[in-house]
Structures are given as structure tokens and as C-alpha cells.
Amino acid sequence: MSRMSAAERRPALIEAGLRVIARAGISGASTRAIVAEAGMSLASFHYAFESREAFLDELTATVVVRETQAVLPLPEVDGDLRDVIEAGFLRYLEHLRADPAHEQAMLELTQHALREPERHPLAVAQYRRYADFAEEALTLAAERAGVSWRSPVSEVAGVLVAFSDGITLNWLVHRDDHAARAAARAAADALSRMADSQ
């Protein structure tokens, strides 16, 4: 391996780690598998990261950012609030279909963080970021549709994240686009009814 600073190595290892997790799961993401994917030697891993767990922590934090950005740009749809939200779900479903392993990896990272008490805050932070993103999107959607939310937007955003999660997991199990779209429709329906026309 040509010479590389620890600062450059860290993101390279995280990219490699994400590919390994997508392919083989967290349990398959051994330090050896990760450095092999990155084409580095084992020592480089522990030179760049204190431990495997610290590595996974940083990977999780890093990757959530990209996760939300992948769904952007929000679809510009004419129609009422319900249609705008449904279009957002459908865009997410496209993203899911395009790279299922990535979403599966995110779910695994969440569960891994949920497992140990000291890592729980990491899962919370991950989901707070999802919710923030959802909140932003919902605010924008309500503005476009000229309505306002009856409940606090943060609450609506929480519901949106929950529904997205459930739809994701069920699609990963059944790979049933029709069922996923039906759920997306129902979810959009429920969410849009949490708003009043102004």
C-alpha cells in the first residue's frame, strides 16, 4: 500500500467497511475483511482507529448523513399534500430498490447500536437525524400545499420515520413492490390527515 496519512485512511476504511457490511453484514465485517477490501494491512486499521467498535461508531455517524442526502432532491410534485408525501415515499422506494444492501446495512447498524447501552445514544442520534430530515421535508411539503400541521411537525416527522422503517423492513423481506406502494399510499394518507388546511 502506498503511503497514506491516517486522516486519509479513515474515510477510505469507512467506505470499505460499508461495502463489506452491505455484502456480509456486521458480523462479517471483521478487521481483516475490512482491510482486505481497502487493500491495506491490518496494522493500518489500528493505526487509524482505536478499535473496531470505535470504527463502527464513526462509520454509523458518517453514513447517516449520506443516507438522507440520497433521497434528495425532494420531488417537485403538483397536487395536494397527500400527493406530495406519496411522491416522497415513492422516491425513497426507488432508492431502496436501487441499493437494498445499503438500507439493510443501516438497519443492522441501528440494531448493533441498540444492543449495548453505551452505544444506544448512537442509534438515537441516527434516528434524530432521520427525523430532522423528515421534519424539513414535511415543513416544505406543507408550505407548498398551503396547509399547516395540526400536531407539532416533530411528531409528524417521527411517524414518517417509523412508517418508512416498517415499509423498508417489509420490502427487504418480501421484495414486494406492490405491497410497498400500498403501504406508502396508506402512510401518505395518514400523514396528510395530520394537517389542516389553513
**Which residues sit at the interface with its own copies, rule CB under 8 A?**
25, 27, 104, 107-108, 110-111, 114-115, 123-124, 126-127, 151, 155, 158-159, 161-167, 169-170, 172-174, 176, 179-180, 182-183, 186-187, 189-191, 193-194
Q: How big is the chain, counted in residues?
A: 198
Which residues lie below 8 Å from residue 198, measured CB to CB, with a gap of 6+?
146, 147, 148
In angstroms, give the least distance from the CB of 113 to DNA.
16
User: Quick one: 20 or 138, whose CB is closer to DNA?
Assistant: 20
In angstroms, give the least distance from the CB of 117 to DNA.
18
Question: What x/- string results for residues 35 through 74 when contact with DNA is judged by CB under 7 A?
Answer: -----xxxxxxxx---xxx---------------------
Residue 19 found at the interface with DNA (CB under 7 A): no
User: Quick one: 23 or 174, whose CB is closer to DNA?
Assistant: 23
Residue 94 found at the interface with DNA (CB under 7 A): no
In angstroms, give the least distance from the CB of 31 to its own copies.
15
148 pairs with which residues across the strands? 196
DSSP state string for 16-73: HHHHHHHHHTTTT--HHHHHHHHT--HHHHHHH-S-HHHHHHHHHHHHHHHHHHHHPS
- What's the grid cell of residue 139? 415543513
Neighbour tally for 173: CB within 10 Å: 9
